[in-house]
């Protein structure tokens, strides 16, 4: 993966933790960064296409909207990891998926508008992969406010 150029760094650092809720948010965010609306959109598109960002978009509180979220983990044989990741990530309910150096080496978040869909997605993944998914529903929420300067 290539390094970020100074403009990309400014965009990533500048947009963490907030985005304008205005009629033209990309124009307004771009102006704060010294970029035009089109330049900001192109920069973000390039970061996503290049893999420097996995996604750019809002984080919805599914539970406040009537949905549900569940952290899940799997023990995936290393020789199958990429294929299993493809199968898991093919589900639109998967928000993100990470490899960990642990017996449970694949961790992902299932987020769905319908709370019953969480169990359905987990069952589908188990059927598709032949592996056990360990669901870890949230019992208490903490706001961390994580920010990383790049």
- Fold (CATH) for 68-137: Alpha-Beta Plaits (3.30.70)
Handedness of CA 148, 60, 22, 27 (dihedral sign): positive
For the chain, percent of residues with pLDDT exceeding 90: 68
pLDDT tens figures, 100-111: 999 999 999 999
Sequence spans of domains, the chain: 6-49, 68-137
β-strand partners of 97: 108
Per-residue DSSP letter, 36: -
Q: Are 124 and 57 in contact (CB under 8 A)?
A: no
What is the pLDDT, as a whole number, of residue 1? Answer: 62
pTM reported for the whole predicted model = 0.66
Angle between helices 81-89 and 115-129 (to 10 degrees): 150
User: In this structure, are residues 150 and 82 in contact, taking their beta carbons and an 8 Å threshold?
Assistant: no
């Amino acid at each position: 993966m290539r390094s970020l150029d100074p403009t990309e760094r400014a965009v990533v650092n500048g947009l963490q933790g907030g985005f304008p809720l205005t009629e033209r948010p990309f124009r307004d965010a771009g102006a704060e960064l010294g970029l035009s609306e089109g330049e900001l959109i192109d920069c973000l598109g390039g970061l996503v296409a290049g893999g420097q960002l996995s996604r750019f978009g809002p984080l919805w509180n599914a539970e406040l909207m009537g949905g549900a979220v569940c952290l899940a983990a799997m023990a995936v044989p290393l020789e199958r990891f990429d294929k299993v990741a493809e199968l898991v990530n093919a589900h639109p309910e998967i928000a993100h998926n990470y490899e960990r150096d642990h017996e449970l080496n694949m961790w992902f978040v299932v987020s769905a508008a319908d709370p019953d869909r969480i169990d359905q997605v987990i069952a589908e993944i188990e059927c598709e992969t032949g592996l056990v998914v360990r669901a870890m529903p949230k019992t208490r929420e903490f706001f961390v406010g994580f920010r990383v300067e790049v």
